[in-house]
């Protein structure tokens, strides 16, 4: 049960890309203070795993098909127990956030609470075609970067434009919605993949994955990143072409789970490259 709780419900392994982008975001903005990096990383970590647990509570019907091995489905943990655990993890993240930066902590507490109350239970964003696409795309890279902007008080049109670039980079995470299309459709969960259908959603996600290739030279010219990004980008570009090809040619969503680790690795790789080539000064 402990293993399934950590890796199945809290999905701690999925925090690696999020923590990587959090550290990269702070470093790109000139923050090298270990205490700040650790505090923001921990707050994001606890918010992430609490969101995963709340997601299991709201997706219990779909998970009976998409993830029947999860402990809430098997009965190893009760609905009330998981609710208490999710709330405690969220409050730990909120406490760390408030200790780190009062303004950031208040925003995290407000929007996190709204996420729990409305998204998870009353207004299921991931059951909306547009909401599901934006949720998955923003969560991987843009949200950690915006959190870093708040802490560093560096919110400008320029940095917000860059956060949108990160949104496009993070759109590769929408592949996970296609993976769950069978279970989501059976419980009337109207994600963008269900709404478009298997074939069209594959084309949409592949288009975003490939379009991101154009962003590497865009980042170099517009945001004054080091020219090294043009060479280092050859690695994620190769992965993006491979991932897009596999997605287009795959015949069943049941074969997609093995490629989910590839898009998570891609996010980590992009975070590393952006850190190594960051601009000396943000305009």
Q: pLDDT by residue (tens digit) across 208-259?
A: 999 999 999 999 999 999 999 999 999 999 999 999 999 999 988 888 888 8
What is the pLDDT at residue 159?
Answer: 93
Token code pair at residue 263: 């898009």
* pLDDT at residue 11 is higher than 90: no
- Dihedral through CA 205, CA 208, CA 209, CA 214, nearest 10? 170
Percent of the residues in the chain that have a pLDDT greater than 90, as a whole number = 55
Q: pLDDT-derived band of residue 281, with 50, 70 and 90 as boundaries?
A: confident
* pLDDT at residue 122 is higher than 80: no
Cα three-residue angle 138-22-57, rounded to 5 degrees: 55
- pTM for the complete prediction? 0.88
Whole-angstrom distance, CA of residue 248 vs CA of residue 204? 10
CB 12 within 8 A of CB 263: no
CB 132 within 8 A of CB 125: yes
Which of 23-32, 130-139, 188-197, 271-280 is predicted with the least confidence, judged by mean pLDDT? 130-139
Token code pair at residue 41: 């990383």
Q: How many CB atoms lie within 10 A of CB 116?
A: 19
What is the pLDDT at residue 45?
Answer: 94
Q: pLDDT by residue (tens digit) across 71-92?
A: 777 777 887 888 899 899 999 9
Percent of the residues in the chain that have a pLDDT greater than 70, as a whole number = 92
- The chain-wide mean pLDDT, for the chain, equals 87
What is the pLDDT at residue 121?
Answer: 59
What is the pLDDT at residue 124?
Answer: 61
**Burial readout 213-242 (b: 16 or more C-beta within 10 A, e: otherwise):** eebbeebbeebebbeebeebbeebeebbee
Token code pair at residue 122: 């009353």
Name the packing angle between helices 157-170 and 215-223 (round to 10°): 170
């Amino acid at each position: 049960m402990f293993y399934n709780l950590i890796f199945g419900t809290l999905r701690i392994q999925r925090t690696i890309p999020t923590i990587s982008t959090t550290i990269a975001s702070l470093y790109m903005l000139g923050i090298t203070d270990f205490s700040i990096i650790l505090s923001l990383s921990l707050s994001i970590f606890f918010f992430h795993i609490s969101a995963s647990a709340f997601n299991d509570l709201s997706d219990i019907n779909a998970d009976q098909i998409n993830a029947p091995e999860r402990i809430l489905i098997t009965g190893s943990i009760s609905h009330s127990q998981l609710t208490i655990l999710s709330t405690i993890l969220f409050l730990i993240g909120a406490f760390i956030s408030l200790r780190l930066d009062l303004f950031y902590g208040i925003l995290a507490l407000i929007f996190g609470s709204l996420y729990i109350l409305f998204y998870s239970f009353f207004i299921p964003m991931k059951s909306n075609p547009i909401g599901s696409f934006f949720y998955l795309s923003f969560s991987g890279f843009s949200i950690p970067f915006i959190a870093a902007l708040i802490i560093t008080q560096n919110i400008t049109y320029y940095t917000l434009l860059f956060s949108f670039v990160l949104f496009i980079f993070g759109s590769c995470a929408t592949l996970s919605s296609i993976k769950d299309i069978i279970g989501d459709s059976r419980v009337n969960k109207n994600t963008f993949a269900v709404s478009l259908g298997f074939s069209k959603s594959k084309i949409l996600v592949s288009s975003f994955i490939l379009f991101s290739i154009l962003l590497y030279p865009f980042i170099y010219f517009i945001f004054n990143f080091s020219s090294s990004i043009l060479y280092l980008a050859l690695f994620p570009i190769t992965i993006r072409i491979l991932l897009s090809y596999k997605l287009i040619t795959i015949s069943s969503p049941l074969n997609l789970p093995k490629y989910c680790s590839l898009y998570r690795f891609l996010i980590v790789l992009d975070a590393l490259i952006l850190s190594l080539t960051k601009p000396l000064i943000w305009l």
